[in-house]
Amino acid sequence: MPRVKKIPLVSMTPGTSRELTVWRWGKAGARPKAYLQASIHANELPGAMAIHHLAPMLDAAEKKGQIKGEIVVLPHCNPIGLSQLVGNTHSGRYEHLGRENFNRNYPDLLAPVMEKVGKKLGKDAAANVTMIRKAALNHLSGLEPMKELDQMRIQLMSMSVDADMVLDLHCDAEASLHLFMSRRDWPSARDLAAQLGVEATVYNAPYPQTMTFSGANGSFWARLQEKFPAAAVPQACLSVTVEYRGQHDVNHTLGASDATNLFKFLQRRGVIAGNPGPLPKLKNDATPMSGMDVGYCPRNGMLVYLKPKGAKVKTGEAIAEVIDFYDPNPKTNATRMVSRTDGILFSRKLDGRLCWPGMVAFRIAGAKDLPHRKGLSGLDD
Ligand SMILES: [Zn+2]
């Protein structure tokens, strides 16, 4: 069994309180350190299912003495979001109190770390990494958040900022398995993409600009490298958002195979001893965020799709229709949405969804930069 730690969060209303649940395998401080968390958007549970199957595998490995590094796992990392029941439905993407997306506004550690250790960084990469991690942890431990959400963000950063790899497990509405990461981690993270069997990997170039959880961790080292080009600052943390398909893709078959692939990835990176076997073939090469076409609903209505998730599509192909159910004229009552790139339709919504102008209906991973996507992050819902 893992070592379990409960971290109480600030109580926001009388008589209520929540806590983070943290599981740990391996020796504290051992390297490499892997950090995995599931479900920052609360009701995105495929990652929690993968961890449900991974935990007994890690127990067995620990019993055999095979865990060489440290593995920190939050089987569900957002108890605030979990609590947000509204009239027999669940609303877990935005915090109801401040209306913030749960996966934004993680602490930016660049300035405080620069101030503390910037002048001391030299040519010794390992020494720099140790100094930088220590400064980041010191800064986080000195913060005094008043609100539960701020405290939760700081706690999640405190457990992950010194990790060698950070996997933030999400899912989409209806999607193929895909990854978001920094350009700095590609192609070095091909082993992750191949082992997990992802259909698409989309990278931010040169690194994520938005302070999502994985963006805050993924851009931290890259931005330090930019600030101190003369010093040896390596990309010391691989930080990735793993989108485990769609919200309803939760079953024992997928959970077990996802857990096996996570376990084998941890073996490949030396966190767990043992031979993971041959690396599966990478399904599709990574593509840039600037090549990702995003379909925004042009009007309100009822959304239906003409292409399934995972479809390879061409420029100009119709992906979805928005139907105006108040319009009886067959010539005008459906508005088609088309792809503006050649690529993989890796993310969409469910058929029959009520939609509104500007709502994201789909995302397509294409290899070529798209003029209409220049400078956009893709994090728009
Ligand atoms: Zn999510």
CA of 123 to the centre of ligand 1 (A): 38
Q: Tokens 């995302």 correspond to what residue?
A: 363
CA distance 345 to 120: 47
CA of 352 to the centre of ligand 1 (A): 21
Residues 30 and 161 in one domain: yes
CA of 250 to the centre of ligand 1 (A): 15
CA of 291 to the centre of ligand 1 (A): 21
According to DSSP, residue 11 is labeled P
Residues 27 and 85 in one domain: yes
Average model confidence (pLDDT) across the chain: 97
Final residue in a domain of this structure, among 233, 252, 285: 285
380 lies in a domain? no
CA of 247 to the centre of ligand 1 (A): 10
* Residue 252: how many other CB atoms lie within 10 Å: 10
Final residue in a domain of this structure, among 220, 255, 285: 285
Residues 213 and 345 in one domain: no
Residues 176 and 32 in one domain: yes
**How confident is the model at residue 350, as a pLDDT?**
96
Residues 328 and 185 in one domain: no
381 lies in a domain? no
Does the pLDDT at position 147 exceed 90?
Answer: yes
Residues 214 and 348 in one domain: no
**How confident is the model at residue 201, as a pLDDT?**
98
**How confident is the model at residue 100, as a pLDDT?**
95
Mean pLDDT of 345-367: 97
Residues 281 and 334 in one domain: no
Instruction: Please tell me the number of Cα atoms within 13 Å of 251 on its side-chain side.
Output: 6
Q: Which residues contact 144 (CB under 8 A, 6 or more apart)?
A: none
Token pair for residue 266?
A: 């941890």
Range of the domain at 361: 290-373
CA of 242 to the centre of ligand 1 (A): 9
CA of 63 to the centre of ligand 1 (A): 33
239 lies in a domain? yes
CA of 241 to the centre of ligand 1 (A): 9
331, with CB counted inside 10 A (0-12, 13-18, 19+), is exposed
Spell out which residues have Cβ within 5 A of ligand 1, the ion. 41, 44, 170
**How confident is the model at residue 374, as a pLDDT?**
83
Three-class SS state of 114: helix
Listed residue (217, 215, 173, 177) closest to 194, CA to CA = 177
Does the pLDDT at position 337 exceed 80?
Answer: yes
**How confident is the model at residue 323, as a pLDDT?**
98
CA of 40 to the centre of ligand 1 (A): 6
Q: Which residues contact 232 (CB under 8 A, 6 or more apart)?
A: 121, 122, 123, 124, 125, 128
Residues 62 and 148 in one domain: yes
CA of 144 to the centre of ligand 1 (A): 27
CA of 42 to the centre of ligand 1 (A): 8
User: What sign does the dihedral 148-150-153-154 (CA atoms) show?
Assistant: negative
Final residue in a domain of this structure, among 238, 265, 285: 285
CA of 172 to the centre of ligand 1 (A): 7
**How confident is the model at residue 152, as a pLDDT?**
98
CA of 360 to the centre of ligand 1 (A): 14
Q: What is the CATH number of the domain that holds 357?
A: 2.40.50.100
Between 99-103, 113-117, 287-291, 376-380, the lowest mean confidence (pLDDT) is in: 376-380
47 lies in a domain? yes
CA of 268 to the centre of ligand 1 (A): 26
Does the pLDDT at position 83 exceed 80?
Answer: yes
Mean pLDDT of 44-48: 98
What are the tens digits of pLDDT across the range 86-101? 999 999 999 999 999 9
What are the tens digits of pLDDT across the range 202-252? 999 999 989 999 999 999 999 999 999 999 999 999 999 999 999 999 999
Token pair for residue 250?
A: 């939760």
Listed residue (171, 160, 120, 123) closest to 347, CA to CA = 171
378 lies in a domain? no
CA of 44 to the centre of ligand 1 (A): 6
Listed residue (279, 276, 275, 269) closest to 71, CA to CA = 269
Residues 294 and 266 in one domain: no
How many structural domains compose the chain?
A: 2
Residues 66 and 117 in one domain: yes
Token pair for residue 365?
A: 């991973």
379 lies in a domain? no
Q: What is the CATH number of the domain that holds 197?
A: 3.40.630.10
Does the pLDDT at position 377 exceed 90?
Answer: no
CA distance 221 to 219: 6
**How confident is the model at residue 275, as a pLDDT?**
97
Residues 236 and 300 in one domain: no
CA of 15 to the centre of ligand 1 (A): 29
Residues 276 and 331 in one domain: no
